[in-house]
Amino acid sequence: MQRQPRQAHQHHGFTLVELLIALSVMALMAVLSWRGLDGMARAQTQTQQRANEVLSLQTALAQWGADLDAMVQGPGLNAIDWDGRALRITRQVSAAQAEGLVVVAWARRDIGGAGQWLRWQSPPLRERNALQEAWQQAAQWAQNPGDEAKKREISITPLAQWQIYFYRGDAWSNPLSSDDRLALPLAASLTPSFTSTPVGAATAEPDGIRLVLTLPPDHALHGPLTRDWVRPTLAGGKS
């Protein structure tokens, strides 16, 4: 019987060309995967940034309303004043007037080439002279703040521009107009340390205040934003 010749077993491997092609495909998949993950990370970061911007603005507007709700007439000073650059407010520290009053100021300033909405607040004060000095410091802070004044400010949100309107006599008007500056006696419901000094007249508190913010294009809520405040005594205790 004649034996059939044995067939040699052949072992096939990758050629150099096949190996290079495989490595190229793997590299391409790795790049595409990295770009996909990077895009997801960027989208998540942008979403979180937008959410933080909205939350910061909501907090600022809540503080804005709280400052106006707590507004009181101070001795020899206006409860509120707008000079075209800063809105200054004399307000209670809390429901307990024995703690004194504070002066609050809101302003816009260019910082690093971009507009920022800022808030400044004095420490609690009980003396008339100290309150008058804080009132002047608030105006100076809005124009040309020093290092000490900047320590008491808080940066709120980027802001392109803003406008303020007062509601008096059933109409909105520019607070800088001469017709809007009305005089009336100061309120007597102040702390004893304040009422011990004779006081004169001050600008009447407006029945409402309209805040118009213009947010920059790169903000989450870009464009104009309007918020109206009504004096609590006219709105049933709600602003």
Residue 6: pLDDT band with limits 50, 70, 90: low
Task: Check if the beta carbon of residue 82 is closer than 8 Å to that of residue 176.
Answer: yes
In terms of C-beta density within 10 A (0-12 exposed, 13-18 middle, 19 or more buried), how is residue 229 classed?
Answer: buried
- 231 falls in which pLDDT band (50, 70, 90)? confident
CA trace torsion 93, 207, 233, 55 (10° rounding): -50
Apex CA 151: angle with CA 147 and CA 157, to 5°?
110
By C-alpha distance, which of 130, 125, 61, 119 is closest to 88?
A: 119
Please tell me the distance from the alpha carbon of residue 102 to that of residue 98, in angstroms, as a whole number. 12
Q: What angle do CA 14, 15, 18 make, to 5 degrees?
A: 80
Question: DSSP 3-state assignment of 105?
Answer: strand
The string of pLDDT tens digits covering residues 178-213 is 555 543 333 333 333 443 333 334 456 889 999 999
Pairing mode of beta strands 101-111, 114-121:
antiparallel
